[in-house]
Amino acid sequence: MTMQHAAVERPTLAEQTNQALQDIMSGLSEDVQAAVAGSFERLLDSDVAKDAVGVGNEVPDFTLPDVRGGDLRLSEALKQGPVVLSFSRGGWCPFCNLEFNALQQRLPEMKALGATLIGVSPRRRTTRCLRWRSIS
């Protein structure tokens, strides 16, 4: 007897993020929900994203300590090929964790294209870099 497994579709990152936001908001009082909603509106109405670095833009070179105790220099990583650079506020941030999980799932595709995924996150008063590797 052969069993066929239907492909299970995972929610998109946007769907997961929206669900996490709904879960967080549902646990807040109405006045706090209103304050958070107002903050989101002001942020979306602002021009803060106009100066954001986008796909294909050049960024200044940097060197940061990595999780192994060494240093990671962006220009050295770029010698190996393209770099996907992701910033996180920390492991306590549910939205950052969702993004990191989504990036980890796409890591085999990035590696197949010759790209390196580098995550930058504050940790113990310093900023540390993590170069992701495939989980086998």
**In this structure, what token pair is assigned to residue 110?**
């990035």
What pLDDT is stored for residue 134 in this prediction? 39
What pLDDT is stored for residue 6 in this prediction? 54
What pLDDT is stored for residue 91 in this prediction? 82
Class of domain 53-136: alpha beta
CA–CA distances in Å: residue 93 to residues 65, 105, 113, 135: 21, 19, 29, 22
Domain residue ranges of the chain, discontinuous segments joined by +:
13-51, 53-136
Q: CA 61 to CA 58: how far, in whole Å?
A: 9
What pLDDT is stored for residue 73 in this prediction? 94
What pLDDT is stored for residue 133 in this prediction? 45
Q: Which of 59, 62, 66 is nearest to 129 (CA)?
A: 66
- pLDDT, one tens digit for every residue, the chain (136 residues): 445 555 568 889 899 988 999 999 999 999 999 999 999 899 888 988 888 888 888 888 999 888 788 899 999 999 999 999 888 888 888 888 899 899 999 999 999 999 999 988 886 544 455 555 433 3
What pLDDT is stored for residue 69 in this prediction? 82
What pLDDT is stored for residue 131 in this prediction? 55
pTM above 0.75, yes or no: no
